[in-house]
Structure 1
């Protein structure tokens, strides 16, 4: 392999594919598709997206390893990335004539995604070409028809883990939270924040909720649990703003 395409494909809607993404899909010799038993729909969606562009694609699937919960978090992630890189290498070795290999990345490869870090572990190192995609942040604000930032104010993008462990970031005007399987917003003062939440953004299954956190918190938790049970997986993102402006420093 001499070329590795990391193709941002948006949030599950084939209309999110850019012209550049379609050209890269048309060009690649081999596609690697991760497979998880509880998220088989995601592998199927990737296959459908490729098939909508070309009918002659060579596809190799691989089983995603699990993280070792006995390790500290950062060590756990590092070991997990090493193992995925090893699996990529073995999977690609089965198609030695493939000079260009592609992975389809949900959202954009730059935002809370490990694909670039895993690609950096490959030896010999391929030329990596990143094709930007629509992120869940963009899909969320578009679905709710809201701007991402308030006037002349910064935006913080973080994770559920950090919100749970460290609370509301000091001086933050807008907080976008990703990767929150435990609904960390439940630990905030519900009367002090408004929330814009969305799951399966851009997909036919899309679910949205918005309002004062104290009014919609329980409903979001219940709807999230029901959707996860129905589909076997869930991807959701939310945006929070204080009801009263954050004082300037």
Structure 2
């Protein structure tokens, strides 16, 4: 009995040259690429995905691209419980749309793929949505995950710094978790999913390494003592969002070395 196969492929933070050899091999097996359309404001993201397919898929006639409109979600819910509920509802809506696309567009013996920014295991919903689809039983398939380069790796490479200091842990967190400062006992944190620049209100003696549009031609980097560069990062971030219509950025915060 033929069974559909889904590949969840990490495509890195945006540079087609950062696609792994394993990811290239996976791309060349795919019959249908399912691409989540996040609207006109983020059309540049689709352009990067298209370039990756042009660059790395040998037979340009063997695959189709199916766009799936991303369901809307509340971006600023009040409280942790509300946030969890909003995300769960969004995942459920995504699961419905993904399941419809897989059932309607992928042959029973076909290979489909979702291209995921960075690595599928780091702050991405695709794997959770895949689990929901399978649990719902509407469509059956097997799936595999192909790891990708993360924006964390791209950030530290661009700034030419190690991720952690000698013998110290590293904390990776969404921005809302550091609104009151770095957690006790941790001296370094990578901050992701920031709607603004949350760190601007923190200890000015922290050291920051910030990057936007990492590994793309639009990459912008700023580093220094937080109190010296926070205003510049806030201003530059607003300018870039206005210019491009969207922004993807991340940053590393560190307490001063004793």
| Structure-1-length-normalised TM-score | 0.93
Match of 2:208 in 1: 195
Which among 220, 225, 232 is matched to residue 238 of structure 2?
A: 225
Q: Over the residues paired in the alignment, what is the CA RMSD in angstroms? A: 1.5
CA distance in 2, matches of 1:75, 1:95: 30
2:128 paired residue number: 117
SS of residue paired to 1:12:
coil
Count of residue pairs the alignment pairs up: 243
Q: Counterpart of 1:9?
A: 11
User: Deviation string for 1:169-197 (max 9, x for gaps)?
Assistant: 1111211000011211012021x200000
Q: Which residue pairs with 2:200 in the alignment?
A: 186
The CA distance in 1 between the partners of 2:161 and 2:106, in whole Å, is 48
Deviates most, 52-61 or 211-220: 52-61
Partner of 1:53: 56
Could you list the structure 1 runs, at least 4 aligned residues long, displaced by more than 3 angstroms after superposition.
68-71
**Residues 160 and 178 in structure 1, CA contact (< 8 A), matched pair in contact too:** yes
CA distance in 1, matches of 2:106, 2:5: 13
Structure 2: gaps of 5 or more residues: none
Shift of 1:160: 0.6
Q: Give the unaligned 5+ runs of structure 1.
A: none
User: Following the alignment from structure 2 to structure 1, what is the Cα–Cα distance between the partners of residues 106 and 152?
Assistant: 38
Q: Work out which of the residue numbers 154, 157, 168 in structure 1 matches 2:169.
A: 154
Output the TM-score relative to the length of structure 2: 0.90
Secondary structure of the residue that 2:27 maps to in structure 1?
helix
What SS does the aligned partner of 1:209 have?
strand
SS in 2 for 1:195: strand
1:197-216 superposed Cα distances (whole Å, 9 cap, x missing partner): 00000000000000000000
TM-superposed CA distance for 1:126, in Å, is: 2.5
Shift of 1:51: 2.1
1:188 and 1:51 mapped to 2: Cα distance? 43
The answer to whether the 8 Å contact 1:8/1:107 transfers is yes
With over 3 angstroms needed to count, the CA separation of the structure-2 counterparts of 1:85 and 1:211, relative to structure 1, is same
